[in-house]
Structure 1
Amino acid sequence: MTYRTIRQRLLLGAGSTVIMSLLLAAAANSQASAIQYDPSQRSASDSRNASASDHPTASHVHFWEELMLEPQDAWSKLRDSFQWREQSLSAKAQARVDEWIDHYRSSPENIAEITGRASPWLAWITQQISDRNLPGELALIPFVESSFDPNARSHRGAAGLWQFMPGTGDALGLVRNGHYDGRLDVVTSTNAALDYLEMQADQWYEGDLQLSLAAYNAGAGTVNKAKQRAENQGLQGSYWDLNLPQETMQYLPKLLAIAKIIDDPERYNVSLPDIHTEPAFAKVKLEHSVTLSEASKLLRIDKSALAELNPGLLNGALNPSSSQTLLVPEDVDHDVLAELSNGANERQAIASANTPDTYRVESGDSLSVIASRYNLSAQELMRLNEIERPEALQAGQLLTLSGR
């Protein structure tokens, strides 16, 4: 029995017990109320208190409130994290959003297809955004960027769920070589995208994430110039004041439009797939090479299921010099996972013993190259050295390689 099955049965059992208790309590209250409600059984004092006894008691109201619980799925959790639904937009700005609402709702089958592709990723992405206390609407950026296709590639060279260009991915430490492309790795690229949005918001826009979204699409230089022009004209300089490239002008309206539809799908005649609140995958740290074919045989699952969860592995194999994390379906047996990881601890200890404490940057180095050389992630290397702008790495700079 899997962890999820055990948890669901426990919750179901607990929920059934609570509901049965409530039903019994309600039945007792209903019986008492029925006796009080019978005029033939009333005393003089009962008649004087009729106005109180003829109305639902607090127990009745509480009972029905307990039963009318919100269904717990990934969509309801996402809706709970929305922060922009109450923002007040000008009539002109609202018209831009409404235009995209009409566009999306005209093809509900497209929404169903795209949200279906989101099924493996939505719960995990929503959790990452919630952990950072960011607006939940950001979880829908992949809807706009890639239609939730981790393998999506644009004609301009952008790739992955978050559509990183090669240069931007390199600057953020997303490893890219013949074995692996971090832009296609959903876990790695999601963390990089959220880091990037927060970093630009703090660096340029005093925390304004909507301006950071525009910069995510068009580049900070383009947005900063447009913002300056708007302010010179006496405008506030918010996203809605800016004159930007057409694609960027539509970027936030698209995001707000699909968030509006997700917030109330019945209103827009849209069906959403059932997605559980827990992530659909587990992360396995490996320090040894393994092919997806080998892993699928050991885990007794289809190779295609592993390939779907690990699009960053370009040649169907995990090479620890590029990536150490393999994603597997969440319900894989833990004993089998331990067998897959066998030997990883010993290899990790050897690697750790051979890793120096510091490294001096040489000409031509990048964070991703240095990180992979010493079996670190680029994000970990940035954290250890408090690096905010990976592109600012300079020859001669001394980097810390461990927390020792």
Structure 2
Amino acid sequence: MLLRSAVRFLRPVLLAVVPGLIAACASTGGGKPSAPVNGLYAELDQASKGYESALQQSRAGAMEASQLTLTRSLDQLKEASARCGNTPGCDPQRFFSVFDRLLRLKDGDFDDGMDLNSDVDPSQAALAAGKTGAASLPAAQRSVTLLHGQKLSELIAMNGPVKAALEMWLTQWRPQLMDAYVNYQYLRHEMWPQYQKADLPEALLFGIMAKESGGKVHAVSRSGAAGPLQFMYGTGMRFGLGMDNGFDTRFDPAASARANAEYLNEQLAIFNNNLELTIGAYNGGEGRMRRLVGADTSVSFYDPRIYNQLSQETRDYVPAVLAAAWLFLHPDSYNLRFPRVDGVPGSITLQQPASLSELTVCLGSADGMGDGWFRTLRNLNPRLDPQVTQPTGAQLQVPKPLERAYAARCVGGPWPILAHDLHSAVVPVVEAPPPPAPVVRRDRSYKVRRGDTLVSIVRNLHCSSVQEIAEMNGLKHHHLAIGQVLKLPACQ
């Protein structure tokens, strides 16, 4: 596909020239660009325009001409980038800016089988129509990227905070990002349609979930926020989440996605589709954000009047969500490869009693799931206690590939026996020793003699303090009189 060709060209181009570009930047002065530098900038502009021409040719159906123009443009960009690293005064930031711009241009374009004037993959329409076959679950980045008619990529400013968050997702937070992606793929058939109905982009849903819970349906924060999208109880009640026969529906993936979409649309209407302010309100509270913004909904989230008044958590949260959404759309362009996940939903009917924990043991690493299936089984069956045995005939939600794995591993043979034996193990209950009997303290009296001081009396007791004796006897300034009778603790 032309899109993949573009990515294959762009990624090595930018990655290969980074060391040279940084070296050139370090030796660059602040003077007027030289003729060679201006020539490189001109080639850069020409390559960018060529890329746009290839896009127009693709939309017009001239695929061969589009491929030729695209190849020439990317070759020109590659050569100019390489020469920039060896040309004093060449600014590498210009090349990275072009890279960012081309990433935005390619959203929904250069892809066979797609309407290039739309951001909707044909298989998304199948998903919306209720089809759940493998073809209706495309690669994540080929999903709706529109936010109320605007491309999501055009609403994400590639500024310092977002770039820093991208680095965090690609380094320290990478395990959480990958886990969130896998978890989301198995929940996608429940959560994504709720966003689609609300005209919200899937990448935004993933970004919020990745930051909030990592796709753990039963996550609960220290502040009491719960579920995959971390609703506080009061806010959840406002959007139809609450108790249903003893089950907190904040833990229901579909219900929480619906409530989250309604909340975001409510706030987008208030903040005039300002995505950053809306995400900030989701984390830091809509009331606080409204007070800070006032009537000027066009103000930037990063405006010091807003940014400096927010908590550090909210200042970090907004770019982190946007960066995760950006990586969801453009993983290849950041040297990121999400695992292939067959998230098509399925179900099993228990042939013998089993708990989710027992099923996890007997399924093992079926279908290549090295981390086991416990998290996925819990996510797909949020109303079940994983330790409680479900009866024969109970129907459980599982990924489609596990239907065969269950029949092969969990109906007969050694694994269900092993799983049941481990699950039924009795752990001895050690009774706590009785608490020691409270010490009964008895007081005694002492008659003050000549030469006594409060300090000397306490020293002879070996179990009290000057302050305690003074308080017991109401002494002021620690003054004693000969013959005075003092109350003293009876020390053991």
SS in 2 for 1:271: coil
Q: Which residue of 2 aligns with 1:167?
A: 234
Distance 1:68 1:219, change over 3 A: closer
For 2:182 and 2:386, the matched residues in 1 are separated by: 26
Amino acid at match of 1:164: F
SS in 1 for 2:154: coil
Structure 1 residue 117 and structure 2 residue 195: aligned? no
Distance 1:315 1:167, change over 3 A: farther
Percent identity of equivalent pairs: 26
| Structure 1 residue 120: Cα displacement | 0.6
Q: Which residue of 1 aligns with 2:165?
A: 100
| Structure 1 residue 96: Cα displacement | 0.9
For 2:267 and 2:396, the matched residues in 1 are separated by: 30
For 1:292 and 1:183, the matched residues in 2 are separated by: 28
For 1:195 and 1:174, the matched residues in 2 are separated by: 12
Rg larger for:
2
**Structure 1 residues without counterparts, runs of 5 or longer:** 1-57, 285-290, 318-324, 334-404
For 2:175 and 2:335, the matched residues in 1 are separated by: 10
1:189 to 246, 256, 261: 256
For 1:224 and 1:131, the matched residues in 2 are separated by: 26
Q: Which residue of 2 aligns with 1:9?
A: none
For 2:299 and 2:63, the matched residues in 1 are separated by: 53
SS in 2 for 1:183: helix
Distance 1:313 1:185, change over 3 A: farther
> Are the counterparts in 2 of residues 81 and 130 from structure 1 also a CA contact under 8 Å?
no
SS in 2 for 1:76: coil
Amino acid at match of 1:310: N
For 2:183 and 2:280, the matched residues in 1 are separated by: 25
Q: 1:331-379: per-residue Cα shift (whole Å, max 9, x none)?
A: 799xxxxxxxxxxxxxxxxxxxxxxxxxxxxxxxxxxxxxxxxxxxxxx
Distance 1:60 1:215, change over 3 A: closer
Q: Which residue of 2 aligns with 1:258?
A: 324
For 1:163 and 1:266, the matched residues in 2 are separated by: 29
Q: Which residue of 2 aligns with 1:308?
A: 379
Structure 1 residue 151 and structure 2 residue 218: aligned? yes
Matches within 5 A, 1:203-218: 204-218=270-284
For 2:318 and 2:259, the matched residues in 1 are separated by: 20
Matches within 5 A, 1:297-376: 306-314=377-385, 327=397, 329-330=399-400
SS in 2 for 1:213: helix
Q: Which residue of 2 aligns with 1:73?
A: 138
SS in 2 for 1:77: coil
**Structure with greater contact order relative to length (CA < 8 Å, sep ≥ 6):** 1
Distance 1:126 1:178, change over 3 A: closer
Distance 1:293 1:223, change over 3 A: same
Matches within 5 A, 1:3-42: none
> Are the counterparts in 2 of residues 158 and 165 from structure 1 also a CA contact under 8 Å?
yes
Q: Which residue of 2 aligns with 1:34?
A: none
Q: Which residue of 2 aligns with 1:200?
A: 267
For 1:59 and 1:167, the matched residues in 2 are separated by: 55
Amino acid at match of 1:309: L
Q: Which residue of 2 aligns with 1:61?
A: 64
Matches within 5 A, 1:121-140: 121-140=187-206
Q: Which residue of 1 aligns with 2:154?
A: 86
| Structure 1 residue 311: Cα displacement | 1.7
For 2:63 and 2:160, the matched residues in 1 are separated by: 45
For 1:59 and 1:163, the matched residues in 2 are separated by: 48
Q: Which residue of 1 aligns with 2:430?
A: none
For 2:257 and 2:318, the matched residues in 1 are separated by: 19
For 1:214 and 1:67, the matched residues in 2 are separated by: 34
Amino acid at match of 2:287: G
For 2:62 and 2:239, the matched residues in 1 are separated by: 56
Q: 1:40-74: per-residue Cα shift (whole Å, max 9, x none)?
A: xxxxxxxxxxxxxxxxxx99939x99996689723
SS in 2 for 1:240: coil
SS in 2 for 1:85: helix
> Are the counterparts in 1 of residues 212 and 228 from structure 2 also a CA contact under 8 Å?
yes
SS in 1 for 2:204: helix
| Structure 1 residue 326: Cα displacement | 7.3
For 2:280 and 2:176, the matched residues in 1 are separated by: 25
Q: CA RMSD in A?
A: 4.5
Q: 1:161-200: per-residue Cα shift (whole Å, max 9, x none)?
A: 0001122222322123673111111111111111111123
Distance 1:264 1:138, change over 3 A: closer
TM-score with structure 2 length normalisation?
0.43
Distance 1:329 1:76, change over 3 A: same
For 1:177 and 1:132, the matched residues in 2 are separated by: 24
> Are the counterparts in 1 of residues 378 and 386 from structure 2 also a CA contact under 8 Å?
no
Q: How many residues align?
A: 257
For 1:67 and 1:264, the matched residues in 2 are separated by: 14
Q: 1:119-171: per-residue Cα shift (whole Å, max 9, x none)?
A: 21235433332332213332221001111111111111111100011222223
SS in 1 for 2:328: helix
SS in 1 for 2:161: helix
Q: Which residue of 1 aligns with 2:345?
A: 281
Q: Which residue of 1 aligns with 2:415?
A: none
Residues 302-311 or 207-216, more deviating: 302-311
Q: Which residue of 1 aligns with 2:299?
A: 237
Q: 1:87-122: per-residue Cα shift (whole Å, max 9, x none)?
A: 373xxx711101111111124444323322222123
Structure 1 residue 225 and structure 2 residue 291: aligned? yes
Amino acid at match of 1:97: V
